[in-house]
Each structure stands twice: as C-alpha cells, then as structure tokens.
Structure 1
Amino acid sequence: MNKLYVIFLFALLILFGCSENKKKSNQPVYLDKPFLQDFSVKYYFNNNTFSPKKVRIDRNTNIQILALNKIYKPSNGHFQYPGKIVIDKNYLPMLDMNILDFITYKDKFVYLTDEAILSNAWAGKLYIPYELSNANIIAGGNNFDFMISGGGKISYLNKSEKIWDKELEGEKIIDIKFSFTQNEFFILTSNNLYVYSVSNKEFKNIINNDSITCFDISDKDKNIVVGTNNGYFETDYTGKIINEINKKLPWTELTNIKIIDGHKWFGTTKGAFMLKDDGKFNYYFGERWLPGNIVTDIYQGENKNVLILTDKGLGEICFEEMTLYDKAMKFERQVRERHIRYGINVDISSMENNDVSTNTLKKADSDNLWTSMYLVSQLFRYLVTKSDEAKQNCFESFEAMERLHTLSGVKGLFGRTFERKGYQEFDKEYRDFVEDYWYPGYNDMVSWYHVNDQWDWRSTASSDQTVGQVFALTLIAEYIDDPEWKKRAVTLLDNLMTYIVENDFYLIDKNGKPSLWGRWNPEYVNRFQPMIGDRKICSSNFIAFLQSAYKHTGKEIYKEKANYLIKEHGYLENLMRPFSEIGPAPKDADNWSKMLSEEWNHSDDEMYFLTYWSLYPYAFTDSLKTLYKEAIKDHWNYIRPEKNSLWNFCYAMTGAEDFDLKESIWHLKEWPLDMVQYETFNSHRKDIEFVAPGFMGHKTKEVLPPDERPTLKHNMCQFNLDNTSRSGEVSAGHTFLLPYWMGRFLGVISEPKK
C-alpha cells in the first residue's frame, strides 16, 4: 500500500482533532404538493381477430370501441386488475347494424352504418340516409352537418340535403377532421391533405406528401400536426411549414395524433407518447401501459385520462392528483396486501397473465436484505408520524430477521431465508464462476437445511445480507423508543459481530467453512489489487460494522479491531480510494479478480450507501468523519447520473446541502405505481442519445424515467434499456418506501400540503 498516503491520512486526523462538529446544515426542503401521477387500467380483447378501429367516450362517460363493424365496451377493469372488452348490448337494434364508423358529436355518439348516419341521442331523431358506396369515415361539422367518405369519394350532407360531393381519383381517404374555429374540413388521403371550406365551398390541396399517415388540428394554436411513417412536422392552416420534421421521437412510425389539453399525443406501431412542456416525452410502451403495442386510436377520456386503443385492447392512461405521501400510502397498502411472507418483505411471482391476484410469494437470496430495507422504511415512518401501524410493521419485520438467526442454531450466524418443511427442494446449486477457486465442492453444494420437523432454513449468508442485518439492527438500536426491542437488536448485532471477529473476520457458514461472500479478513481483502472494487467495499462495509457494534455495545474489542484494520492493513486507505481509480483488473490479475471487476457492480452501490448510516455517524473521531464524508461524496458524485433518491438521501444524511433534491423528487414522482416486471424495450428509441456503456454500463447519455425502464431495484444498472422477463411484481417496501420515508425522516421532504 502507499505508506505516504497512510501518513497523510493520519496527519489529517491530528489536524482536525477529535471534537464533534456541531454545525447545522441548511438543506433544501421539498414541499409535498399534489402532482399528476399516471397509471394504466387495461382492457383486453379475448382474441387477436378484432382489428379495432376507434374509441370514443360520451358525456355520460360511456366508452365505446368500434371493431369488426360492431360496438364494444370495456368491462370491469381496475388498476392492476385488467378488464375485458365485450359487445355492447345496451341498444339491441345496434347488434343488427353494420357500424362502419362513429364519432362523438356534441358529446354524444353518432354512428355511420351502411345505410345512414344515426344516433340514439336526441330521442333518436338524428337519422340521415345517404347514397355513397363503401362509406367508412365520418366527421361532424358545426350544425348537424356531416362529411362522409369511402375510398376516394366524399359526400357532405345534412338532414335535409346533400350539400357537396367530390371524387379524388387514384386516392384513398384515410381520415377527416373538422376545425370549429375555421369552419373547415381537413381530408387526409394516401398522398395529400386537402381542406374544404364550409363558408365558401372552396376545396384545395394544402400538402402533398405520400408519407403522411395521420394528423390532428389545433384550433388553439391554429396549426396542423402531421404524422408520417418517419416523424412529424407542423404547418399552419394553409399548409405552410411551421416546424420541420421531427424524427427524434421514441418511435417514428406514426399511426395516430391527438391534441389533448394542449399536449400532443402520438400513436405508433411501438406504443404511444406525449410531448411534455420540457420537450421530452412520456413514453407509454409495453404492458405496464398498454395491452398491445400497435396504436390504432387515441382519444380524451374522463377527467384528464387518455384512451389509447391498440391491436390487443384498450389502455386507459389515468392521471390522478396525489402527493408523494398519497403515493407512499398506496404502496404501503400494496406491500401489506401481497408482499409479506412470514414477516419477510418479498417480491411475488408465478402470476397468470400478469394478474396479481394469482401470485405466489417468492423466496429469494436477498429476502434478508429486502426485509431490512422495508423495516427501516417503517421505522422512519414511525419516527415521523408515530403511526402504530408502522411500528407494528417494523416489529414484524424485525421478528422475521431475528428468526433468521435463531433457526441457524449457531449463535451469531443468520440465514438468507426460511420456509415450512417440504416446500423447498434441496437441490445442489452449481456455480460455475467459482470453479477451481473456492474450496472443493463449494460450486456444487446444497445450502438448505432441515431445522426440525416443521421448518427448513437456507445458509450461505453473504456480505450484502450482512449489510442488511447491520443496517436494520443499527437503526433499530439507534432510534426505536422501546427498550426491549432496542435490547433485542443490540443483542443480535453483538452476536453477529462477535461471531465474525472471533472467526478472524470471516462469516463461518453452517458447514463450518467461510461463506463465499462473507469475508472481511485482510488476507482476502488486500489480495486484490487497488483498482478491484471488492478491496474498497469490504473495507468500507466492515469498518462501518465495527463502528456500529462499538457504538451500541460499548465493547472496546470492536474499536480495537477497527483501528487495527485501519492502521495495520490500510482499510482507511482502501475505503478512501477514489472511485475514479476503480476499474477492470489488469491482464496479469488472477481469474477471480477479473471476474469480480468485469463491470461495475451496482449491488455494491446499495451495500455502500446503506452502511454509510453506520460509517459516517459513528466515526471514532470528527476527523475520521470528515474523511468519511469525503469518501461518500466521491461515491455520490460518481453515481449521480442515476438520479436515485435513495443514494441522494443517504448522502444527505451527512448534512450535505447539495444532494440533488430536485432529481430525487423527479425519481419518486416518476416511480411507477405498477411494479409488475413486464417486457420492456427502449433500444429502438430515436429520442435518446446512446453512448458506449463503459465500465459503469451507462448506455445512454441520460437515465430514463423509472416508469419507462425495466429496472425497479436499486441494486441494478439504472441505465438498462430492455428486459424480456415477465417474472412477477417487485415490492415497493425496499424500492420506493425506503427513500420516501428516509427523505421525510431527514426533513428534506415535507409533510403533505393539500
């Protein structure tokens, strides 16, 4: 190690002295006011032969869908509980009609059949027969006048007469729309966009372009938004270009455009998107949002909702005003309803067609870690709100983590998870990545054990699971106001750290041998060259563990061991090493080092930031605290592009005043209410700037919003773009609730302001 660097660090210790820094920070605070949260309610067709054409809603909030020349309606859909699309039997005569098109006219349904224009509104008095053959499009004018078309023929008529007709030879009419302010019909064909003036009966071609696929008119902006098979452009009402073609879109093959409340909505062959005020897009793609990916129609729904019709069904994008607190409480209920297994916070799996009511509570390697994060979220919630429910949730999770200790049968050793006997196969778990590295047989062992005739227990506890234990036990010991529970937490922490210290800084597993990942011994830690991340993280984590144990037990051995590792084995130098110096192993390194450093380990970020809650507050001296803060800031700056509220708030715990509060709130607001892991794709997008991934794995210049990307856990690369897995639902307990309640606990998020 660099001896001069060690001398420099200890010189800083002397320089700063040992007095505690009492200076208060002046951190910004987010006022938790209502915002619009989007989520989707989906309705599916029962087969793939429907060829849906159009969706509309009337003033009674009835939604109708035109498919196969019949009228259908959505039935019994709710958030995360999809509905179905069924035939609309409200008006029996409609079942015998051949419906070619329909519109909402003056907030009522008007239908184009193969015989007439008609409506069931206005006491059924609207009935206009017509003679045009092959009619399939209708648009309404100002005063019960309608334009219909079929093929290349147009007919403009009202109840008493046919006003005007036209045939466009060699062209097929795609769509007709009416401008109420201009009193003009706009007619889109396969080659041109025409305008017909009702006032002077003038018909003219304003745009010639054979790539146009769709359009909409904005009476407010007095312009036309024109979609093509490769982007969109804007013109005035005369066809003069206002904005040149824009191809920097999530997808450029446009099928539909609708202007809703001043926002441009686009349908494509790969989902839908809305242009936001900041020039970026909300992208609604995949089953988190839509039943199918090919959009056939978009229409404004009830309140602020938007109806998006696709090849496989209807997606209703709902916008609900809520505060971050409101959002958190939705997740609180969701977690309690379907993410608790024996007190353990878990994901769910084995869902049938993404139906959360068909779920199975999933066992996972990291049950212990996810539970610790949920536990702390409930602890923070209790400390902020004094909620008895939160306190009970916290204690229930603690009992589950405590049981991971008692089931092992070894004082100080804990497990990954547990299950009732007979429901877990005791298969050998082959690990090819430890072939010829760890002790013989480790790559082909059984980690499950029978505890008794009732329970089975899984061993192989690891460093990240130890982080979870220390994180939860530390914060319970520090903040809980119940002496008995505090004592239980301190006892577990003491037992765990005594077990590791007495075994030469190894976590000895049930089989009597060190766990693969539970190793903090200098012989192991310093075997890695300085650029290998494990050398840094093992040092950082373990010094934090020892500091917490010393703080809460008062046992000098923990402080002595920490100082021994700092002074004799360079653990301070290791943990202070800048992240800019962490990277791939050199060519002459051993295979284990190369495997561990092939890419950035995002799970390490989670391990670092959770243990910073023991590293920084429990520093033995104020000078050490200053150094730790420097190391934490260096780490935070390195992962800052992720805009992750959990990392940002863990950094804010140090008193930092610039911790990206704005980005943190963006992260929490954009977090999806629907956390089912759907197939997700973004690599096709044309609105994002791609970069070479590099060591960190960042594939784009800027991270996508959480509700558009596949990654819903903090320990994964937030710049991942695609995921073909449909593996279940992630719990909000360790993903959203922890950063939200941490922000509340730190005082950087206010109580809700209605």
Structure 2
Amino acid sequence: MKRILFLLFLAPSAFAQKHIDQAFEQDYSKKNYAPEGIEMRQMAMDRNQNVRVLTNQGVMLPTHSEFLFPGSFSPDTRYRTSAPKKIQYLSTVEDQLIFADETHLFSQAWAGRLFLPLPIKDIKALAAASKEDHLISDGQTLIHISSASKKTIPSTGKILQILHRDKQYYVLKENSLEKWDGKTLQKIQSGKGFRCLEIHKGQVIIGTPEGLLINQVAKKDLPSIDITSLRSIGEKLWVGTTEGAYSIDSKGKINYYYGERWIPSQEVIQIEPGPEESVLILTKKGLANICFKKMTLKEKAEFFQKQVRSRHIRNGFNATLYGIKNGDLSTGYLGDSDNDGLWTSMYLGAEAFRYAVTQEKDAFENVMESLEAMERLYTVHHLPGFPARSFERSGFKNILADPERWQSSPDPEWDWKATTSSDEAIGHMFVYGVIAELIPELRKRATLLMDTLMSHIVKNDWYLIDHDGKPTQWGRWNPKYVNGFPTNVGDRKLNSSNIISMLQTAYMFTGKEIYKEKALHLLYKEGYLENLMRPMKEIGATPDGGDAYAQMLSEAWNHSDDEMYFLGYWGLYRYALNEDLKQKFKVSIIDHWDAERPEKDGLWNLMTAITGVKEFDLEEAIWYLQEHPLDLIQWEIKNSHRQDIRKMAPNFRKQSLQEVLPPDERPVQRHNANMFNLDKANGNYELSAGDIWLLPYWLGRYLGVISD
C-alpha cells in the first residue's frame, strides 16, 4: 500500500518550457473530381466568390464539396440565355466573370453592357486593364480592343500568356517577354522554354520546364522544376507544376502540395485566389480548394477525437479503416492488425491522460471500452496470462490479416490471433501503468492485467509461450537470448530496457517482491543494466561475431524499436526501484532521445520530458502537432524527386535528409515508421489519430507543457 500512496508524489513536474496554445494556420483541402470525359481548361472566381470552370463540355459549376467528402461538377445553367453559347475562354475583370465565345467578349455583370465583337475566333490569351480595355490573342495575332476602338499590334512568335500588372500589359512568348505600354511592344527579356509569367512583389518571374527565372536569375532548388502556372496571392508566390503545387513565402519557406491529400491530380493547370482567403488549384482531373483555418491544438484534438470515435473503433480496439475507394470513407472497413493491442494501448494512454487532465465523462467511457478489449485479449483463449494480438468473430479467417496466425477460441463465436510480440507486451505494460497511476477507480483492473502478463513471462523463463507451447518469435527476454547478441545489436539493449520497465511497473502497483527481485537479478547478475545503458552510438550495422540472425537484425535501424523504447521509458524512469537507478535511466533516455532529435517526433520529445530535463525540444513537438495533416488517408506521396531538399548518403539509421520534412508533406505514418520516408504508394486506407496524434498531445497536456 505504501508504494501506491507514493504515486501521489509523482505528479507532473514544473517545466521551464510551456507552450501557450494559440491559434495557428491549419491547411486542408476540399476537392472536386471531374467526371469521366470532362477535360479541365480554365477557372475563374468573381467578387461573390462564385467559381466557374471551363471544360471541353462548356462552363461548369463545382458541386458541393467538404473536407474528406469530395464533390464533382455540373453544367452551369444559371443564365439560360448564355448556357447554349460555346464558351472558349473564361477570365475576370474587376472581379467579375467575363466570357469569350466564337464571336463576342461578354459578361453578365455591369447590367450586361460588356458585349464586344471579337476580331479573332479562337482566343488563347486575354488580359484586361478594365472592363473597357482588353488585350487578346489567338496565339499569333495580338489585338487591343475596347468599346471605342480595335487595334492590331505587330507581333511575331507564339503568344502564350497576356498579363496586366501595375498598369502594364506583359506578353509572354516561348522565347521572350515583351511589354506593351499602349503604343509600342518592347522586348524586355529573352530566353527559351518560357511557359508562364507572374509579377510578384516587383519581381518578374517566369516559369519554365527547368525551374523559375526570377528577374532573369535561375532558381532550381524547388520541389518540382517542371513549371506550368504561377500566381501571386498575398505574400506568397504559388507555383503549379506537373508534380503538384507549392507556395513560397517572403522568407523562402516552401509548402508543397502533392498527391490527393491536396489536389485531384498532379498536373496543375491554373492557380487562383479562392473563397475566404483560400487558394484554388485546377488540375487535369479536377479542382482543389486549399483552405486555411485558424485552429488551436485543443480544437485539433477535438477534431481528431471525432475521427477516432466515428470510424476507428473495432471491438474496442483502435483500428485502421482499410479498403477505401477513391477517398470515399464510406467504402472502408475496420481491419485487424498484428498490433491491435499496441495501437489500442497508445490510444488508451491518450484517453487516460485526457481523463486525468479534464475529468471528462466521455474520456472515462472511452478508456472503459478499450480496456475491456485489452482484458479480453487474455481470456479469449485457454492460455493463462498470454495476451492475444487480436480477436474477431469466427468464420472470417480468409479475410483477416495473416490468416495462418488465427486460432479458434473455446467460444465458437470467436477466433484469436497468436504469435504475440514484444512490442505488444511493452504497449500493454505502458498503459496499465498509466491507468493504474492516473485513474484510481480502475487501478485494480489495470494492476490485475499487468500482474497477469508478468506472471506469465516470469513463470515461463522470460518468454511469451504461444498456443503451440513454444516461445513466440519476438516475445523473448531470457538472458541467454538477450545476451546472445553482440553488444552492438539493438535488441540486446532494447529487450533489457523493456523488461526492466515492465518488472518495475508490476512491482510498483502489485507490491509483489518477486518482480523487484527479478529486476535486480537481471540488472546486476545478468548484465541488463550495462545493456540498457549502452550508448546509442555503439548500436550499429556490423555485429561483432554475430550469426545470420543478429546480422539480419542489424541491417539498419528498426524504428519500431524506438516506439518500444519510449513507451517503456514511462515505467523505466517513473517507477525506478531507487534514485540511483532513476538517474542512470535518465542518462540512457536522454542519450537515446539525442539520437532521435533529427526526426522531430512529438511523442519522443514529450516522453523525454518525464525525466525533468530542461531541454526536450518542445518547439519541435509543437511543430509535429501543428504540421500534422487533418487528412490521415494514406494517399500516394512522392518527395524523392525534389530539388529543394538536401539528401544524405545511405546510412544505418535510414536518415535520408539533412532536415526532416513536415508531417503534411510526407506519408501518414505511426511512430514506429521512419520519419524520413520520402515516398509512399497509395494504400487506400485511413490511419487513426488515436496513437499518432492524440497520445503526444494529451501527454503534453498532462505534463503541463502544453496549455489548454
């Protein structure tokens, strides 16, 4: 009982650092996909924020679209008299829509007074100084028209674009840029391969297939250099390419929008200002509306809370939504995984921290629901103390992941998944400790679970013993196994760290001396203290005398190990058997965190904060939380082609870049993945925010380093 009462003194520390949760700019996308056979050509928006898109089948309206619920297009029939016209060009003048058909330039604005005969039939380029002053071209001829006159301007070369900026007309050709002042056409820049033009903050910017020309200076350190369109919007230059779009702010910072997380397809046709300070991006397959919303982390947490509860809870587990077709969330199904217990442990931890901070009834109910799923992992089969990976109703092995691992339960209605691994075990012990410490009314249930699991491991000589009476492949903490690895093989350090954390947690809450005795034996008699204290710099890819199995484990750094380490650090540090060990463990934790700092993982940084260390990269943790996309669908992502990133030579830790990309520019991934992953094929599934985002956020809230 004395050890339980001692928990009252394990309250969050007073940290010198604290993030005050103020609103930041959260971007997200609303998309409209073009029906089959519809070819996107141009778009424009008027002062009433009405958006029109010109297609090969006439002018169309984007139909209603919301975030994660894309829309389509329908014919524009608002004006019955103009609907039959064969529109060939669409633009705006004085924030009003103007149209060109085969004979006239006209508008519905200004009481319909704009109705100018066109001296050329096929408009390819158009710009206007006002509703009465237009410069047009069919690609060869350049003509100035107004209500009072018509003037053909002598010009040679193919005309690509006409732009009116700062009371000047600019005419872009394939190999030159010219300026028309109302009297003469003057060449101001020569070159080759010109495609598009913008004047941004007084700079003349030309897009080419090989990058940008900014005041005639080439710039190629860009996400994609195959430029198709340019647009100055506010303080940013927006760039469309054949591989997505990106913005460049006044400080040179780039935000890259690639893949269907952001846009319907990768080849950008046009970029324009959108409704409510958003940005419209027209692509070959549809229209994207990149929206920017002021949001606090608390509001983002509320959004992700709804995401988890509405479509990621399966039998109480924190699950993935698989089988999504074309981004339609209604088509997905909740799938099982090898790590249902682990992902649920992490979500359970988030909800336990949330309940400790807010005392909200909803948080407690969520904890109860998932805790029941965790409890059933121990009773769905006949093996005392063995935690199943997962369970599901019987008769469906043929559609479940890894069907060979599924076993029949004594209850004929259910099957359970065997071969439980060490990452499941450490996840269990992490969250049982959190619940036992922070939720008194559930302490007995959490303590029973940790005692059940650890009794099984101790009784079976430090192994998880499966249905076949043999140790599972990864559930192994026996000294002969652990110390059989060369010292620079990560599993020797990892398994030592994890089992001591698990034993300390069990001892803290059960008070059973056997767990303390076993921990001390492993630490001092079997070398586990030396193992877990080994510096990360000594963990490498070339085992010293190791067998083929050890070499396989050391081919490269396994980022799942990081997840196991850091979840284990909760019990390793907070429930240390004595102060001397606690300080040693702190050194080990900080050494590991220092190696992980380039990844800027929010969970690693905040878990390191439990040691009371002054520096734990809180700023980077907030960056992780703020920069995470709201859309957690695993869309196709590509970054390996980028020329604005500094790549590194292949290395043991698989750090491909000198600086990690923001979470909203890389694949969506859990904490056990490499944050330096550059590309990802379309997986057609949505991950849960429960373990990815809510756990670090609510841990930060519990520790008091993130305000409410």
TM-score, normalised via structure 2 length: 0.96
What is the aligned partner in structure 2 of residue 42 from structure 1?
31
Kept in 2, the 8 Å contact 1:426–1:448? The answer is no
Alignment of 1:600-749 (within 5 A): 600-749=557-706
Check if 1:262 corresponds to 2:230.
no
Can you give the 5+ residue segments of structure 1 that lack an aligned partner in the other structure?
1-19, 236-240, 431-444
Pick from 119, 124, 132 the counterpart of residue 120 of structure 2.
Answer: 132
Partner SS state of residue 408, structure 2:
strand
Q: Which amino acid aligns with 2:700?
A: G
What is the aligned partner in structure 2 of residue 364 from structure 1?
337
What is the aligned partner in structure 1 of residue 429 from structure 2?
470
Check if 1:397 corresponds to 2:377.
no
What is the aligned partner in structure 2 of residue 229 from structure 1?
209
The whole-number CA distance in structure 2 between the counterparts of 1:586 and 1:475 is 36
The whole-number CA distance in structure 1 between the counterparts of 2:672 and 2:650 is 17
Give how far 1:425 is off: 2.9
Q: Which amino acid aligns with 1:464?
A: D
What is the aligned partner in structure 1 of residue 472 from structure 2?
515
Give a deviation string over 1:310-366, Cα, whole Å, max 9, x none: 011111111111011111111000110000001100011011112111110010000
Q: Which amino acid aligns with 2:578?
A: T
The whole-number CA distance in structure 2 between the counterparts of 1:670 and 1:22 is 29
What is the aligned partner in structure 2 of residue 417 from structure 1?
390
Give how far 1:653 is off: 1.0
Check if 1:173 corresponds to 2:159.
yes
Q: Which amino acid aligns with 2:40?
A: P
Quick one: structure 1 residues 446 and 26, their matched pair in 2 at CA, closer, same or farther if it must change by over 3 Å? closer
Give a deviation string over 1:579-615, Cα, whole Å, max 9, x none: 1000124374211111111110100000000110000
Partner SS state of residue 31, structure 1:
coil
The whole-number CA distance in structure 2 between the counterparts of 1:530 and 1:715 is 23
Q: Which amino acid aligns with 1:186?
A: Y
The whole-number CA distance in structure 2 between the counterparts of 1:41 and 1:490 is 46
The whole-number CA distance in structure 2 between the counterparts of 1:453 and 1:304 is 58
Give how far 1:711 is off: 4.2
Give a deviation string over 1:244-269, Cα, whole Å, max 9, x none: 21100001011101010120000001
CA RMSD in angstroms comes to: 1.8
Kept in 1, the 8 Å contact 2:380–2:409? The answer is no
What is the aligned partner in structure 1 of residue 520 from structure 2?
563
The whole-number CA distance in structure 2 between the counterparts of 1:415 and 1:556 is 27
Q: Which amino acid aligns with 1:411?
A: P
What is the aligned partner in structure 2 of residue 9 from structure 1?
none
Between 23-32 and 518-527, report the one with greater CA deviation.
Answer: 23-32
The whole-number CA distance in structure 2 between the counterparts of 1:417 and 1:21 is 33
Q: Which amino acid aligns with 2:162?
A: I
The whole-number CA distance in structure 2 between the counterparts of 1:516 and 1:234 is 58
Quick one: structure 1 residues 617 and 257, their matched pair in 2 at CA, closer, same or farther if it must change by over 3 Å? same
Check if 1:572 corresponds to 2:529.
yes
Q: Which amino acid aligns with 1:306?
A: V
Alignment of 1:48-67 (within 5 A): 49-67=37-55
Aligned-residue sequence identity (percent) comes to 43
Give a deviation string over 1:65-120, Cα, whole Å, max 9, x none: 11226211211211111111222121223332121212121221011111111001
Q: Which amino acid aligns with 1:216?
A: E
Residues paired across the two proteins, number:
700
Partner SS state of residue 611, structure 2:
coil
What is the aligned partner in structure 1 of residue 509 from structure 2?
552
Quick one: structure 1 residues 21 and 491, their matched pair in 2 at CA, closer, same or farther if it must change by over 3 Å? closer
The whole-number CA distance in structure 2 between the counterparts of 1:132 and 1:426 is 62
Pick from 63, 66, 72 the counterpart of residue 84 of structure 1.
Answer: 72
Give how far 1:22 is off: 11
Kept in 2, the 8 Å contact 1:447–1:460? The answer is no
What is the aligned partner in structure 1 of residue 197 from structure 2?
215
Partner SS state of residue 626, structure 2:
helix
Give how far 1:231 is off: 1.3
Give how far 1:429 is off: 5.8
What is the aligned partner in structure 2 of residue 252 from structure 1?
225
The whole-number CA distance in structure 2 between the counterparts of 1:202 and 1:336 is 66
The whole-number CA distance in structure 2 between the counterparts of 1:727 and 1:21 is 43
Q: Which amino acid aligns with 1:251?
A: S
Alignment of 1:62-461 (within 5 A): 62-68=50-56, 70-142=58-130, 144-162=132-150, 164-169=151-156, 171-179=157-165, 181=166, 183-198=167-182, 201-218=183-200, 221-235=201-215, 241=216, 244-425=217-398, 446-461=405-420
Q: Which amino acid aligns with 1:34?
A: A
Give how far 1:280 is off: 2.6
Give how far 1:426 is off: 9.2
Kept in 1, the 8 Å contact 2:486–2:545? The answer is no
The whole-number CA distance in structure 2 between the counterparts of 1:109 and 1:133 is 19
What is the aligned partner in structure 2 of residue 4 from structure 1?
none
Between 91-100 and 308-317, report the one with greater CA deviation.
Answer: 91-100
TM-score, normalised via structure 1 length: 0.90
Kept in 2, the 8 Å contact 1:426–1:446? The answer is no
What is the aligned partner in structure 1 of residue 6 from structure 2?
none
Quick one: structure 1 residues 638 and 471, their matched pair in 2 at CA, closer, same or farther if it must change by over 3 Å? same
Between 125-134 and 263-272, report the one with greater CA deviation.
Answer: 125-134
Quick one: structure 1 residues 207 and 632, their matched pair in 2 at CA, closer, same or farther if it must change by over 3 Å? same
The whole-number CA distance in structure 2 between the counterparts of 1:587 and 1:423 is 46
Quick one: structure 1 residues 564 and 306, their matched pair in 2 at CA, closer, same or farther if it must change by over 3 Å? same
Q: Which amino acid aligns with 2:620?
A: E
The whole-number CA distance in structure 2 between the counterparts of 1:382 and 1:497 is 26
The whole-number CA distance in structure 2 between the counterparts of 1:284 and 1:37 is 14
